[in-house]
Amino acid sequence: MPHTPLIIERIETIALRVPLGQTYQGSHYKMTHRSPIIIRLYTSAGIIGQGYTGDEDSTLESILEIIDNEISPKLIGQDARHVERCWDLTRKTTFDILRDRRLALVATAAVDAAIWDAYGQLLNEPLWRLWGGFRNSLPVIEIGGYYGMKLSLDKEIEQTRKRGVAGMKLKIGGQSPAADAARIKLARKAAGPDFIIMVDANQAWKPKEAIEFVRLAEDLDITWFEEPCEWDNDVADMRNVRFSTGIRICAGQSEYSAAGCRRLMEGDAIDYCNFDASWSGGPTEWRRAAAIAQTFNVAMAHHEEPQVASHLLASIPHGSYLETFSPDRDPIWPNLVMNRSELVDGMLQLPDRPGFGWVLDEDYIKKYRIN
């Protein structure tokens, strides 16, 4: 089977748009829908590679056009076993300086994931094992603590704990450091000492404010402080917060390349790199960032996207936590993926099926498909 050609014959794009239960507001943004793109890559071997990327909405049409009109013509007739070649052929879609480069990166990522899924099926191996096979389960956290929620923070944590996850990453940065520190103190009291808590400011604060928050919350056992500082000088500013307080810093989701992640590491700015494969060119580029991180003794995380992140993080020795949401914030993962395992002691067991191994609900796709 490994020597069987895997010629790409057709690439199908399926766009979904699913409303959220309420508006979710972070420090400087809000979400009302979750709109993933499903890719189905048909090959000469009869194998259909499949993947999806999520958390898009207003940009969905532009990404679909890039896949259909720019990427697909380059890849039809190529052998999907030649993953690096296929990835390189799509790279020029990111060179258009008259549009947001991230659109082409998301388009590339969607197709790259489907190519890897097809390759895993050809070799009859799950991707977590094909990529390294360090372990087959991961601790799961949920992202929450958004501003203006219907539930109080302590009630939200209570419901999250009932879902069996190991911890939460809570939004901060939308209030003063003192007010947000008070919120996290409430969260720790509600969660108990055995619950993992991270915080994420989404680049909201100046270093002085970030340091003030850490001083006020230093007894709350925060696992990491994500993107504490404003974007324009974040490498130097995060380094200052990290060195002056000793708190562990997480960043990388806002980077577009493995080279961008390397700059964070060279600048001593981070302890965790949460590079996002679905925003930055796919699993192929994420694995490059992970290799660099290992040489800097930096742990890898992944911004959201558990359907891809689970395989990537489990494949390496320095993978950390798998990020998910409540079913209200992300209805895709719990409803589209039919064969997720139940959490046991906060851990997700990965499938042994080849490729990503996820079985998608066709009725759910029909209900929310928009193209």
pLDDT in tens, 229-276: 999 999 999 999 999 999 999 999 999 999 999 999 999 999 999 999
- Is pLDDT at 1 greater than 80 in this prediction? no
Mean pLDDT lowest among 2-6, 157-161, 313-317: 2-6
To the question of domain 8-125+362-368 being in CATH 1.10.3720.10, the answer is no
In this structure, which amino acid lies at residue 91? R
Task: Find, among 297, 303, 340, the residue nearest to 323 by Cα.
Answer: 303
Per-residue model confidence (pLDDT) at position 56? 81
Q: How confident is the model at residue 29 (pLDDT cuts 50, 70, 90)?
A: confident
Tokens of 257: 């390349």
Which pLDDT belongs to residue 195? 98
User: Considering only CA atoms, which of 350, 346, 347 is closest in space to residue 337?
Assistant: 350
Query: How buried is 130 (Cβ within 10 angstroms: 0-12 exposed, 13-18 middle, 19+ buried)?
Result: middle
Dihedrals phi, psi of 342, to nearest 5 degrees: -70, 145
In tens, the pLDDT along 284-325 reads 999 999 999 999 999 999 999 999 999 999 999 999 999 999
What is the DSSP code (8-state) at residue 7?
B
Tens digits of residue pLDDT in 178-197: 999 999 999 999 999 999 99
% pLDDT > 90, the chain: 95
Could you tell me whether strands 272-273 and 249-251 are parallel, antiparallel, or unpaired per DSSP bridges?
A: parallel
Domain boundaries, the chain: 8-125+362-368, 128-349
- Residue burial 218-241, b: 16+ Cβ < 10 Å; e: rest: eebebbbbbbbbbeeebbebbbbb
Residues 104-132: tens digit of each pLDDT: 999 999 999 999 999 999 999 999 999 99
pLDDT higher than threshold 80 for residue 54: no
Look at residue 124 in the predicted model and tell me its pLDDT. 98
Residue 329 has pLDDT above 90, yes or no: yes
Give pTM, 2 decimals. 0.97
Amino acid at 201: A
Shared fold status for 8-125+362-368 and 128-349: no
Q: Alpha-carbon distance 199 to 184, whole Å?
A: 8
Q: How many CB atoms lie within 10 A of CB 154?
A: 12
* Cβ contact 56:37 at 8 Å: yes
Instruction: Let me know how long the chain is.
Output: 371
Architecture of domain 128-349: Alpha-Beta Barrel (3.20)
Integer distance in angstroms from the first to the last C-alpha of the chain? 35
